[in-house]
Each structure stands twice: as C-alpha cells, then as structure tokens.
Amino acid sequence: MKKTIHLLIVIVTSLLSACDYSPAGSHFEEIDPNPEVIADISLNQQQDTVVAQGNLSFVFNVSLLGHSVYGYQLKLDKSILAEERSLAGSYFFQSKKYKDGYHELQLLIVANSGTGSLADKSGAEIVEVYRTWTVYVDNGPPSAVAVTSVKPEDGQLKIEWQPYKRPGFQKFELVKTLNGIRQDPVATFTDPSATSWIDDSYVGGPVSYYVVAYANGYYNGTYGPTGEYEYPLPRILHTTYNEAKDLTVTFSATPFYKNFKAYELHASQGLSFQSSERTDTTVTFPDPGFGSDFAVKLIAYPKGTDPELYARHMYSQSTIEGYGTAWGPCPVQNLLRRPQVDRFYSFQQDYIKVVDPSSLQVVTARDIVGQQYQELGYNKNVVSQDGRYLYAMLDGKLHRLSPSTLQTQERFEFVDVLPKGGALFQDDPGRGQQ
C-alpha cells in the first residue's frame, strides 16, 4: 500500500513539472507608464495676460501627437465656461459678467494616455494636459487724461499731457479750440507713451486743447481737462500822418516765427498791404484822402491752415482817425478811389458821383432814379482800376459812361455781352430768357 501511494506522488509531481509555463519573448512587450506628451495649445490672444474690456472671443486649437483627444474644458477660476469633444473651439467672453481684477483662464485637454496598455486601449487610462492664462477684467471707461502744459517752444507751441496708465489703451485724440471755434482732432496717437505734440499753426489768439482717450471695447472716449493759452494776435500799435498826409501804420509781430506765413492789412476804402516777413510791421500808405475815421483789419496767417478761418475770425481791427473834417455827401464805404485819374467814384442808390479827392467835393453827378433794377443779383456799376472805363446798368441796358462827365457814350444789350449765348442763369434756362 505504501509503495502504491509513493508511486502516485511521483506521478503527480512529474505531471505538475510538465505543466510549468514560461512566456517566450515574442509574446511579451514592456510598456512605459510615463509616456512623453507633446502638446500644442494655442489661443488667439497672444499675451500671457489678456486684458478684457467689453466683449472678446477666445479661439483655441489643440494638438497632441500620438494621442486621441477626447475633449476639452475651458475654465475661468475653476468654473467651466465651455466643454466639447473636439480639437478646436471658441468662446464669446463678456467681461461685464465678472468682477474687475485678475482671473485664471485654463484650457484642460483630456486624451488617451498613449501607454499602449489594455487600459489605455479600452479608454480607462487617460492623460490631462492644460495651459493657463491670466485674464485682467477692466469694465471701467477709459481714464481721463489731463493736459498738463501749453507753452511756447522754439517758435511754436508745445502741448503736453499725462501718460495713460491703464491697460486696454486704443488711442488718443487731441482736440483744439481756437478763439472759441472747435476744430476736428488735430492729431491722433496710437502709442500710449505719447505725451506731447507741437502745434505748427498757432500765431496768436485764445486757444485751448484737450485729450480724448479711447480704450478697447468702448466706442466713446473720455474727455480730459483742458489746457489753455493765449498770446495776443498781432494788432495795430499806432498810426501817424506826415505833412504830405501819408499814413504810417505800425503793428505788433507774432513771436511764433516757425508758424508764420504772412501779414495782411486792408481797409474797405482800398488800403491794402501784404508781407511774408514776420518783422515787417510798418507800412506807409500815400495820402488816403479820407475826412472821416475808418476801420483797418489786420490778419496774421499761419502756415498750413485754412485762410478763410483767419479771414473770418482770427483778426484784429482798429479804427484809424481820419484827418480834416468828416465829409457828408457820400458814405466813405461807397467811395472807390482811382489814383490814376485823381478821382473818387461814388455809387449810391439814386446817383453816380465823381468826387475830387483834395476838396472832397462832388465834381459832377448823374441822377439814375428808377433806372436800376434792385432785384438784379450782381454789380450794377463798375469802374476800371485806371479810371478810363465806367459802366452802369440803366433801364435794362449796359451803358458805357464818360469817367469825367458821366454821360452815356455807348449802349449794349446786356445779353449780347454775356458768354455762352447770353445765358445769364445757366441752371435756369427759363430765367435766362426773361
């Protein structure tokens, strides 16, 4: 019996030894539990710190080499903003939904681990990759920027203002108001470090400047405090007559020599003077022949500006005292002087008059009562600069008058002397035939 049991033990042991398993190398592969993850996560906002003022879009793309991406989560301060099963996405961010200040934006990517294990292949083993940005929310309007200085510098005018320190800067606009007339922005700056500008068109008068600051996400800008300056416009200082009754006028000069273009001095009586020399401020006119006071306008034109603005608004005006006794037969403003023939011509409503400039007496006159049509919208009387020709519209005809006697020398039909077939009103053929 013992021999039989011993034999059975030997047989079982032999069978167990025959069933021992040892795997071959061709059926076994080692795996890396920590595979290298090469990720490319990009956001359309290039900076690491994103300034959010108003609304903006976050657009992102994901690339993970050798991995299958299961999806993404976009989080702000660990709260999920959006999640999708894709390699790209976008999110419309409305900054006014969040408090001002700094926030953490995180893009989390979920993908397979890439180890090649059975768990990886079944989706039970994953890897998470993320990238973070800082979002600075600023919902306030653009900061006001104050003009700090307006002062002359090297023949021009320099304006300085505060720097803009808040994020989200878009642009500055500098607005100029000259003598109460607001001009369109005279300069625009897209560099937040810009803090000065040179006005190359100022020659005098009250002027003010203010800065309008614009920030991203805001259509309207913020107006800053105004800076003001005034240097008197060139003005007449004094006038004198000599024994020959020549008139000398002296006026002040502008110190803004780089901006200066020209002076113009004139009176409605025919006095006129122009000069492009900044220090040329004394002018003598031959005997103007006026017995009453008259006004003279002085304009200093700067370079590169609209001359009409200065002609209408930026001038100084003075009254010059006339010599002798003010003369009454004709208003001074209606007198046309023609020195070549030593005569004045006066065109009043009912008379044409020839006036002697020395005695200021009427030499001859012609009564034209009822002969001129007041509704005509053009000059009805004219005398040439040399005094040789005088024309007047009388009873619907053009008369050439003698400059000395005012008698009619020749008559013309008005339509015969007009260009383009006598059409006076080109835009209204019907009126031209009347």
What tokens does 166 get? 């808040």
Are 340 and 397 members of one domain? yes
Total number of domains constituting the chain? 4
Of 342, 338, 363, 340, residue with least CA distance to 352: 363
Q: Residue 196: inside a domain, yes or no? A: yes
Q: Residue 325: inside a domain, yes or no? A: no
User: CB–CB of 122/194 below 8 Å?
Assistant: no
- What single string gives the DSSP state of each residue in 252-270? ---S-TTTEEEEEEE-TTS
Q: Which amino acid is at 430?
A: G
CATH number for position 372 = 2.40.10.480
User: CB–CB of 395/371 below 8 Å?
Assistant: yes
| CA distance linking residue 151 with residue 157, whole number of Å | 6
Helices (H), 2-129: 2-18, 118-122
Are 189 and 242 members of one domain? no
Q: Residue 399: inside a domain, yes or no? A: yes
What pLDDT does residue 28 have?
46
Could you tell me the pTM of the whole model? 0.57
Are 289 and 243 members of one domain? yes
Among 83, 105, 137, where does a domain finish?
137
Are 221 and 243 members of one domain? no
Q: What is the mean pLDDT of residues 267-295?
A: 83
Are 63 and 113 members of one domain? yes
What pLDDT does residue 340 have?
76
Q: Residue 25: inside a domain, yes or no? A: no
Residue 271: CB atoms within 10 A of its CB come to: 20
Are 385 and 423 members of one domain? yes
Q: Burial code of 157-176, b = ≥16 C-beta within 10 A, e = fewer? A: bebebbebeeebbbbbbbbb
* Residue 12 predicted with pLDDT over 50: no
CATH number for position 95 = 2.60.40.10
Q: Residue 19: inside a domain, yes or no? A: no
For residue 215, count CB atoms less than 10 angstroms from its CB and return exposed for 0-12, middle for 13-18, buried for 19 or more.
Answer: buried
Q: Residue 18: inside a domain, yes or no? A: no
Q: What is the mean pLDDT of residues 83-93?
A: 81
Helices (H), 70-222: 118-122
Are 169 and 122 members of one domain? no
Are 337 and 424 members of one domain? yes
Among 231, 246, 272, where does a domain finish?
231
Distances (CA, A) of 72 to 61, 64, 90, 182, 308: 10, 12, 11, 55, 65
Q: Residue 292: inside a domain, yes or no? A: yes
pLDDT grade for 259, boundaries at 50, 70 and 90: very high
User: CB–CB of 34/112 below 8 Å?
Assistant: no
* Residue 433 predicted with pLDDT over 90: no
Among 188, 204, 231, where does a domain finish?
231
Are 216 and 295 members of one domain? no
Cα-based angle 398, 399, 402 (whole degrees, multiple of 5): 155
What pLDDT does residue 419 have?
66
**pLDDT tens digits along 114-131:** 555 655 555 556 677 788
Are 91 and 159 members of one domain? no
Specify the 3-state DSSP secondary structure of 418: coil
Are 58 and 125 members of one domain? yes
Q: Residue 251: inside a domain, yes or no? A: yes
Distances (CA, A) of 35 to 22, 39, 318: 28, 12, 93
In sequence order, the 6+-apart residues with CB closer than 8 A to the CB of 96 are: 54, 139
Q: What is the DSSP letter of 22?
A: -
Residue with tokens 């009754």, as numbered in its chain: 245
What pLDDT does residue 163 have?
92
What pLDDT does residue 322 have?
75
Q: Which domain holds residue 250?
A: 236-320
What tokens does 390 get? 């005088």
* Residue 231 predicted with pLDDT over 90: yes
**pLDDT tens digits along 296-351:** 999 999 998 888 888 888 999 998 887 655 555 555 556 777 877 888 888 876 78
Specify the 3-state DSSP secondary structure of 288: coil
Are 43 and 127 members of one domain? yes
